[in-house]
Amino acid sequence: MNVILTVILTLFIFGALIAIHELGHYLVARFFKVGIREYSIGMGPKLFQKQGKYNKFTLRALPIGGFVDMVGEAADDDGSDPEDEGKPPLNTKPVWQRMLIVLAGPAMNVLLGLLIMAIIVLFQSELYGTKIGGFADNNVSGKEMVYVTADGNGFEKGDIIYAVDGKAVTGENGIEAFLKDHGNAEEIVVFRKNSSTILNPISYENVKLSALPLEYNGEKKYFVLSENSGSFQKGDVIYSLGETVIADQSFGSEGATDEERLNALKEAYPNAYTVGIVRYYKVFLEPETFSYSFESFKELPLYVDDGGMLKFSEQYGEIQKNAQVLEVNGEKIPEKMTADEFAAAYGDEKGELTLKYNWYVQMANPIILKNAKLEGASLAISGALQVGDEIKEVGSYNTPVPMDLNYGVFNEGIEPTDITVIRDGKELVVENVVFHKASEQGILCGRPDFYVDSVEKTFGSVCHNAVFQPLSSLKMTVDGILQTFKGKYGIEALSGPVGIGEQIGQAVEAEDGGIEYLFNLIVMISLSLGICNLLPLPVLDGGRFLLYAIEGVRRKPLPPKAETIIMGISWVLVLGLMVFVMFKDVIGLFN
C-alpha cells in the first residue's frame, strides 16, 4: 500500500510543480498576447486533451516535464499554419518580452518554494535561533582540542586527538603541557571521517557465524560476541553480513527465545561472509563530585566494585547508579570499606555525602592509534565555542537561522574554521573551531555537535524565520548546484524522480514529522526545478534566455540551422543525464 501511495504522491508532486512552472510561461505569454497552441503537463502520449478558448490543454503520460507550445517559438516556425491564424508568433515579440516569458517558469517554482517554506514556518510549534544551548557528549567544537596539521608520526592531517590511554584530553593548557602529560601515550583515539560511528564498521573476511561464540541481547535487540574469538572481542556487535545490515533486523518468530533467534540467524546465513562489527570503547571524562544531604544513612543501596570502591548499586533519588562514595560529613571513608562496614559505621548518622561520578562515553568503532608518536607531530589547538554563544557566521556563511548554521558547518566544518559569535554582548571570532567529519552520498561534510535553543514564538521571530528560512532554502539550492558543477559533490549526490520518490516514500512511512519533512522536500524540489531550469543549456529556460540575450546583442537571431543543431545537442545531453541519474537511482533502490 505504501509503495502505491508513494508512486501516486510522487507523480502528483512532480505534476503539480511542472504545472506551476508551465503556468508561469503561459500567463506571461498570454499577457504579452503571444499565440499559444497547447499547454501540456507531462510528455509523451496524450491521456487527456481539452480545447479551450485560446488553446488546447493536455495531460500526457510521462511526468518528466511539460511545455507550452507557442506559435513562433521554434526557429523555423513562422506561424503560417491555418490553425495559427490570428495568433501572434513569439518570434515577432521584442526580445525583452521573450526573455521575461522564459524566466516566468523558473520564477514560479522559486516563488512557490519560498511561499511553502514561509507557511511551514507559520505552522511550526517551535522556532529555533542560533544560540548554543548545549553540546553532545563527544563534542569537539566546545573544547580546545589538539588536532594534527600535517601527515606524519602515524597521524593524518585533520586528526582530532580525543583520548589518550582511555581518558578524554584537551589542549586547554597549551601544546607544551599536553606533550609533557601525554608524550609517552600508548593508545591514542582520534576522530577522522566517519570515525566513532556505525558508518565505519570493522570488517573481517570469510567468517562463518557458526564458528563464533554469539548470543542475542534481548534488551538491545542485537547479536553480540559472548567471549573473545580470534580477532573478535567480547562485546562486539554483529552489524552486517556482506552488503546486508542485520543490526536492525528481527530473526525468529514473535515471542521466540534468544536461542531460537540465534539459530534463525545462523540458518539464514550459513556460509562464510565478510562480517562487519561495531566495537565499543570506553573513554573516561573528567570526574565530577557532588554533595547530597540525607536524614539517615541507613539502608543505602551500596556495593563494592572490582576495584574496591564503594558505589551505589542503583539509582537512588537524584543519585545515579555507580556514584562513588568519597566522604561522610567532610571526612574521607576508609579505603575498601564494604557496604556492611559503612552501615555499621554511619547507619545511625545523618548529614552530607560527597560522591564522585566517573563519567564515560561509549564510542563505536573508534580509530585507535598504537604506534603514533605525539613528540615531533605537527599539532595545533582549536578554538572552543561556549554555551550561550550566538553564532553569526560559520566561515564564509552568514547564519541568521539554524538552517544556515547547519549548512555552514556542513561545508566549512571539514577543516578548522573561524566562527563569529556574540558572547557576553560582544562580537568576537573564535578561530580554528573543529568538527566531526562524515562522508554521506560521496560528500565529505562537517557535522554539528551542539544543539541550539528555541526562541519565543512572537510576531517578530515568526516574521524573521518566515523571511530567512525560505531565503536559506534558496541559497542552499543555488550553492548546491554550483558546488556540483565545481566537483565537490559526486554523482552519488544526484537524484532524479526515482531517487526523490524514494525520499517521498520515507516521508510517507515516517511516524513523526513525516508531513513537515514531505513539505520541506517539496520546497527543495520546487526550488531545484526553478534554479536548474536557469542553467545555460538551450533546451532549458536558461539556455533560451541566453539565446535571446545573444540576439539582443547581435540585433538579429541566430541562423535557424545553427539553433536547431544547438537544440539537438542540448536534448541529447539532458536526456542522457536523465537516463543516467534514473539508472543510478534504480540501482540504489535495489542496494
* pLDDT mean over 212-221: 88
Bin 42: left if φ > 0, else alpha if -120 < ψ < 50, else beta.
Answer: left
Cβ contact 392:421 at 8 Å: yes
Q: One-letter amino acid identity for 97?
A: Q
Confidence at residue 553, expressed as pLDDT on a 0 to 100 scale: 85
* pLDDT mean over 459-484: 82
What CATH number does domain 202-282 carry, 3.40.50.300, 2.130.10.10, 2.30.42.10, 3.10.300.10?
2.30.42.10
Give pLDDT tens digits for 396-425: 999 999 999 999 999 999 999 999 999 999
Better-scored residue on pLDDT, 75 or 548: 548
**Dihedral, CA of residue 89, residue 90, residue 91 and residue 96, to nearest 10:** 150
Confidence at residue 586, expressed as pLDDT on a 0 to 100 scale: 45
For the chain, report the end-to-end CA distance as a whole number of angstroms. Answer: 21
String of b and e for 414-429 (b: at least 16 CB within 10 Å)? bebbebbbeeeeeeee
Q: How many angstroms separate the CA atoms of 489 and 440, rounded?
A: 10
Give pLDDT tens digits for 530-569: 888 888 777 788 888 888 888 888 887 777 676 666 666 6
Q: Is residue 317 exposed (0-12), middle (13-18) or buried (19+ Cβ within 10 Å)?
A: exposed
Q: How many angstroms separate the CA atoms of 305 and 260, rounded?
A: 34
Q: How many angstroms separate the CA atoms of 110 and 408, rounded?
A: 22
Pairing verdict, β 360-364 and 379-381: unpaired
Confidence at residue 552, expressed as pLDDT on a 0 to 100 scale: 84
* pLDDT surpasses 50 at 587: no
What residues contact residue 158 under an 8 Å CB cut-off, 6+ apart? 147, 148, 192, 415, 437
- How far CA 154 is from CA of 263, 321, 369, 574, in Å, comes to 43, 39, 8, 47
* pLDDT surpasses 50 at 121: yes
Q: How many angstroms separate the CA atoms of 179 and 45, rounded?
A: 73
Confidence at residue 149, expressed as pLDDT on a 0 to 100 scale: 95
Q: Is residue 204 exposed (0-12), middle (13-18) or buried (19+ Cβ within 10 Å)?
A: middle
Q: One-letter amino acid identity for 336?
A: K
Q: Give the number of other CB atoms < 10 A from CB of residue 80.
A: 9
**Dihedral, CA of residue 467, residue 468, residue 470 and residue 474, to nearest 10:** 130
Average pLDDT score over the chain: 85
* pLDDT mean over 288-317: 92
Lowest-pLDDT range of 54-58, 197-201, 263-267:
197-201
DSSP H/E element including 178: helix 175-182
With cell 542553467, the residue in question is 535
Task: DSSP letter for 190, please.
Answer: E
Give pLDDT tens digits for 365-395: 888 999 899 999 999 999 999 999 999 999 9
* pLDDT mean over 276-299: 90
CATH superfamily, with its number, for domain 127-142+384-456: PDZ domain (2.30.42.10)
214 phi/psi in degrees, rounded to 5: -100, 155
Task: DSSP letter for 282, please.
Answer: E
Of the pLDDT bands very low, low, confident and very high (cuts 50, 70, 90), residue 137 is: confident
One fold for both 127-142+384-456 and 287-358? yes
Confidence at residue 31, expressed as pLDDT on a 0 to 100 scale: 94
* pLDDT surpasses 90 at 326: yes
* pLDDT mean over 560-582: 63
Cell of 110: 522559486
Q: How many angstroms separate the CA atoms of 147 and 342, rounded?
A: 46
What residues contact residue 558 under an 8 Å CB cut-off, 6+ apart? 75, 547, 550, 551, 566
Task: DSSP letter for 199, please.
Answer: T
Q: Which segments within 461-531 are labelled E, that is strand? A: none
Cell of 232: 573478535
Confidence at residue 584, expressed as pLDDT on a 0 to 100 scale: 47
Which segments of 358-401 does DSSP mark as H helices, in order? none
Of the pLDDT bands very low, low, confident and very high (cuts 50, 70, 90), residue 120 is: confident
Better-scored residue on pLDDT, 477 or 178: 178
* pLDDT mean over 436-450: 83
152 phi/psi in degrees, rounded to 5: 145, 160
Nearest to 325 by CA among 350, 298, 293, 302: 302
Positive/negative CA dihedral, 50, 56, 61, 66:
negative
* pLDDT mean over 249-278: 89
* pLDDT surpasses 60 at 196: no
* pLDDT mean over 264-275: 92
Cβ contact 71:34 at 8 Å: yes
Which segments of 198-242 does DSSP mark as H helices, in order? none
Cβ contact 495:587 at 8 Å: no
Give pLDDT tens digits for 474-523: 887 777 777 776 666 655 555 555 555 556 666 556 656 667 778 888 88
* pLDDT surpasses 50 at 1: no
What residues contact residue 567 under an 8 Å CB cut-off, 6+ apart? 538, 539
What CATH number does domain 287-358 carry, 3.40.50, 2.30.42, 1.10.10, 2.60.120?
2.30.42
Domains of the chain by residue range:
2-120+527-590, 127-142+384-456, 202-282, 287-358
